[in-house]
Amino acid sequence: MFKIVTITTILFLRLITPSSPQNYLLNFPKIVLWAWERQEKLNTIDIKNIGIAYLAKTIYLHDNNVIIRPRFQSLEIPKNTFLIAVVRIESYILKPDKIDSYKISKIIRDIIELSKTKKLKAIQIDFDAKLSERIFYRKLLFELRNKLPLDIGLSITALASWCIYDYWISDLPIDEAVPMLFRMGKDKDRILLYLKKGMNFKSICDKSFGISLDEPIQYLPSNRRVYFFNTNKWLESDINNIKQGVKSLK
């Protein structure tokens, strides 16, 4: 009886301690800069308040092949920066529901390789999955989460519509979905009205959102982690402006 209680206690403690990946994103800074595929010098950022989500790999899916393109441009950051490795997926598949397990395994192996990066807190998948690609994407995320180390969080970017009325991502094994509040296309007016009314995103999407410096937007949610995209190279003046803007969202 004593042994059973001891084992149960150990299992319970494991569930509530920081080995759970969710805890790693909870402690992540509230300002995150997306560092895309270009040379970036971010040596002077305030690492207590700013994290970096850098494009680490781009995966091109073709009917007969999977092409993995690593990051080629340099990224200079302080030693103890909070890091998220971003994997962008571009699809040119005619029948994505027919993607074989070999291709999925190859993609997962390449993503898992990133988890060895020092100071990495999470991996973020950036994939604008079409309706026909959702079965493939779900399978990829479930298998990826099963094979990622427990101390690595799993994040995805999400079309804003996925977080409001097309909520197909509710049961995905992820720590956050980041609604993208820029380049919204035909859904833009509907989403802006939703924000103006002060309505909240669905639960898996209510921890963060992403905006672009070249698309100012009103009625943003408060008390969220904010990801910032910049079409140009990051400047210190951009970062200072962001700090001031984020203060108004608290």
Please report the domains of the chain, with CATH numbers, ordered by start residue.
21-247 (3.20.20.80)
Can you give the pTM of this predicted structure? 0.88
Higher pLDDT, 15 or 44: 44
Q: Name the pLDDT band for 26 (thresholds 50, 70, 90).
A: confident
| Residue 169 contacts residue 156 (beta carbons within 8 Å) | yes
What's the pLDDT score for residue 231? 95
Q: How far apart are CA 168 and CA 165, in angstroms?
A: 9
What's the pLDDT score for residue 247? 62
Count of CA atoms in the C-beta half-sphere (13 A) of 60? 7
Q: Name the pLDDT band for 14 (thresholds 50, 70, 90).
A: very low
Q: Does 225 score more than 50 pLDDT?
A: yes
What's the pLDDT score for residue 25? 82
Token reading at 19:
């080995």
What's the pLDDT score for residue 9? 30
Instruction: State pLDDT tens for residues 190-224.
Output: 999 999 998 889 889 999 999 999 998 989 988 89
Instruction: State pLDDT tens for residues 158-185.
Output: 999 999 999 999 999 999 999 999 999 9
Q: Is 46 exposed, middle or buried (0-12, 13-18, 19+ CB in 10 A)?
A: exposed
What's the pLDDT score for residue 226? 96
Q: Does 17 score more than 50 pLDDT?
A: no
| Residue 212 contacts residue 229 (beta carbons within 8 Å) | yes
Short-list 16, 25, 20, CA closest to 122: 25
Instruction: State pLDDT tens for residues 34-55.
Output: 999 999 999 999 999 999 999 9
Which residues, 6 or more positions from 213, have their beta carbon under 8 angstroms from its beta carbon? 228, 229, 230, 231, 238
Count of positions (residues) in the chain: 250
Q: Does 15 score more than 50 pLDDT?
A: no
